[in-house]
Amino acid sequence: MPGTIGIVGGLGPEGTVHYYRKLTRQLSSIPLEVGRPGVVVDHVWMERFAALLRAGARDDIVSLLSASVGRLRGAGADLAMIAAVTPHKFLAKIREASPIPLIDIVEATRDEIVSAGHRTVGLLGTRATLTEAFFRGGLEAAGIGVEVPDAKGIAYLDDLIFGPLASGSKTEAMTAEVRAIVSDMASRARLDALVVACTDLMDLVTPAIPLIDPIDCHVRLAIAAVRRAGGR
């Protein structure tokens, strides 16, 4: 029997669209006659998550995301992936009570970087992703050097992600500012690749170095997991 992949979506909506497109595109290569996995999506409001994050309400965030995973399980999901990076800060706690396996974007991204042989990468994302250990620490523990924006760049990206990008707004000025942030990082370290650890930033990035898309990494790992679970 084909399995079903669940997506915790809405964090933000543009990122969820990226996930859905990439997941269904990769799944379409699996012939229907041999059992193509299904997809279900549950929506979590970005404003609710962002407010809880700003308030430091860890237990409420875990409850919010756990409830989404529970709804996915009720809809038939055999495993789930959270379609955003920052919520992975709470992944270990969510996993404790999860009724289904949760696929880790940090693990997926780390394995991709190691497989490609990259030694030092630039990292873009939210303030939490850039300054806390849950994402960059997972890369550094594997011996990967990580360069992040300066304080001004971190503040700009965080405001951008939880502000205009969360509502789907993108401008040329935003693209130019992100390009300047990447250039500054590249002036401070020799970067082998750029990791864009925020789904909503992807459309604003046009690097001159290899790009590591954590969404692609995450999707590939989820598909591999659901196929293993189905014995295919």
Which positions ≥6 away from 135 have C-beta within 8 Å?
85, 88, 89, 106, 123, 125, 129, 197
In CATH, which of 3.40.190.10, 3.90.190.10, 3.40.50.1860, 3.30.1490.100 is domain 106-213? 3.40.50.1860
- Predicted confidence pLDDT, tens digits, the chain (232 residues): 479 999 999 988 878 988 999 999 999 999 998 889 999 999 999 999 999 999 999 999 999 999 999 999 999 999 999 999 889 999 999 999 999 999 999 999 999 999 999 999 999 999 989 999 999 999 999 999 999 999 999 999 999 988 898 777 889 999 999 999 999 999 999 999 999 998 778 889 887 899 999 999 999 999 999 988 765 4
Per the CB < 8 A criterion, the answer to whether 231 and 145 are in contact is no
Class assignment of domain 4-104+216-229? alpha beta
Tokens read off for 20 = 């859905």
Residues 151-159: contacts with CB under 8 Å, at least 24 apart: 153/181, 153/184, 153/185, 154/127, 154/130, 155/127, 156/181, 157/124, 157/125, 157/126, 157/127, 157/130, 157/181, 157/198, 157/201, 158/126, 158/127
- Domain pair 4-104+216-229 / 106-213, same fold: yes
Give the residue extent of every domain in the chain: 4-104+216-229, 106-213
- How far apart CA 59 and CA 63 sit, in angstroms, is 6
Q: Model-level pTM?
A: 0.86
Give me the numbers of helices (H) and strands (E) for the chain, helices first please. Answer: 10, 7
Bridge-partner residues for 193, per DSSP? 121
- How far apart CA 136 and CA 11 sit, in angstroms, is 20
Instruction: State residue 231's pLDDT score.
Output: 52
